[in-house]
Structure formats: C-alpha cells, structure tokens
Amino acid sequence: MTKVSLSEARIVTMRELSQRTSQVVQEICQSGQPALITRHGKFLAAIAPLEDVTIDAAIQSIAGRAPLPDDDGNRTLLDPDTARRQLGLAP
C-alpha cells in the first residue's frame, strides 16, 4: 500500500464534512490525496483514499474483530468468510 503524505493533505472542517460528506469523499478519492478533519481549529481525524487497498486486505483487516453484540448480548469474532458475507461479497 502507498504511504499517505499528510503534508499534502487538504484541510476540511467538520462543518464542511457534515454538510458535503459525499462530495468531500469523492474529491478525496479523485485527487488521491488525504484530508485532515478539524473541529474548532483542532485536528481530529484524517481521511485517505483506499485506491491501493484490495478487497482481501480489507476483509482481513476486519476479520478477528468482535462485531456488535447480537440479540443475546454475545460477541463472536469474525472469520474471513463471515466478513465477506457481511460485506455482501459472498452468499
């Protein structure tokens, strides 16, 4: 995966992100450059395009994480096949 350079990042306020979420994300993906999100002048988060991340890498990154509790309050770890199903990539 390509390293993200925050020195070239665009600054986006939380207000702008809230009002124009879809457009901001589209602009980030089209430019290939990350954006730093601010609130009241303080940095909160960064959003970066995932153009170099494969679906399998994304699946592996969520596999093993505990999902929200089920109706009984139980948590179970996700395996890669379950993760694929939850992402709609497998039947």
Here the tokens at position 5 are: 């350079």
Contact 48, 34 (CB under 8 A): yes
Residue 80 has pLDDT above 60, yes or no: yes
**Dihedral sign (CA 55, 60, 65, 71):** positive
Q: What average pLDDT is seen over the chain?
A: 76
CATH 3.40.1620.10 residue ranges for the chain: 6-47
CATH T-level topology, domain 6-47: YefM-like fold (3.40.1620)
0.75 cut: is pTM over it? no
Using an 8 Å Cβ cutoff, are 52 and 31 in contact? no
**Is the pLDDT confidence value at 50 over 80?**
no
For 7-47, write each residue's pLDDT tens digit. 778 999 999 999 999 999 999 988 888 899 999 999 999 88
